Amino acid sequence: MENNNEETLKVTWLGQGGFLIEINRIRILIDPYLSDSLSARGLKRLYPVPVKLEDLRPEVVFFTHDHADHFDEQTVRPLAELYPHCKMAGPASVYEHYIRLSLKPDCFTVFNCGDIYGLGDISVKAVPAYHTDPYSIGMVISFGERKIYLSGDTLLDDRLIPAVKQETGLDFDLMMICINGKLGNMNAIDALYVTSQLHPRIVIPMHYGLFAENTTDPEPFVNAVSKAGLQCLTMVPGQPVEFK
């Protein structure tokens, strides 16, 4: 017989900075880029969309900033049509873009740095990110005694680690961090430094592999994390991983 009180955590990488995080059957979608819309700008996907929208079934969709590989019109419109009662949240720059799409304003919550979004026993806090969209955020997701940190798109700024450490309490179970080193993001060396300072139980590199023009080889990061005595997991887009 299934124990409904058992805490569960399942994560699916969607590619780039996108994730589906399932916590105790609550489905949280973050930065889904599930189209090939950027091919019109010369940025063609290197692999097919890894999941079907019909399989996502999110309670809420979070966006970390207003760039097309994170807030994608060709993903957001179909999501809003398929899930008309689904909530969406993101910083002011995303909200302004969302409103320009003539989508329902009552389904969107402005989620700026410092704000907290509650989902039952799950708390999501917007933390600083230092990117070309000045409204960019990272996220700390807390449930029980467990925490997840997702960096969003960010450079290594002197303020980043102190701001995230304020949210730690206990060490992070998981950390998802950008490593591509292009277009306003940390490179592998910077990401390793953040990892060594925050000391997550498992670190997952992200924001690579989707576009030939904006990627990097994750192996140097993976090897450096291992040499530092920390655990690194490279995920395959579309393949869920359950964490105990």
The answer to the question of residue 155 being in a domain is yes
Long-range contacts of 122-125 (CB under 8 A, 24+ apart): 122/23, 122/24, 122/26, 122/28, 124/28, 124/62, 125/167
Q: Which pLDDT does position 2 carry in this prediction?
A: 43
Is pLDDT of 114 > 50?
yes
The answer to the question of residue 80 being in a domain is yes
Is pLDDT of 139 > 80?
yes
The answer to the question of residue 22 being in a domain is yes
Q: Which pLDDT does position 5 carry in this prediction?
A: 55
pLDDT tens, position by position, 145-185: 899 999 999 999 999 999 998 876 557 999 999 999 999 99
The answer to the question of residue 209 being in a domain is yes
How many independent structural domains does the chain possess? 1
- Domain CATH number, residue 50: 3.60.15.10
Q: Which pLDDT does position 206 carry in this prediction?
A: 98
The answer to the question of residue 1 being in a domain is no
The answer to the question of residue 208 being in a domain is yes
Task: Kindly write down the DSSP assignment for every residue of 61-122, as one continuous string.
Answer: EE-SSS-TTTS-HHHHHHHHHH-TT-EEEE-HHHHHHHHHTT--GGGEEE--TT-EEEETTE
pLDDT band (50, 70, 90) for residue 7? confident
The answer to the question of residue 61 being in a domain is yes
Is pLDDT of 29 > 90?
yes
The answer to the question of residue 146 being in a domain is yes
Q: What is the pTM of this model?
A: 0.95
Cβ-Cβ contacts under 8 Å for 193 (sequence gap 6 or more): 156
Could you tell me the residue range of the domain that residue 99 belongs to? 9-235
Mean pLDDT (the chain) is 95
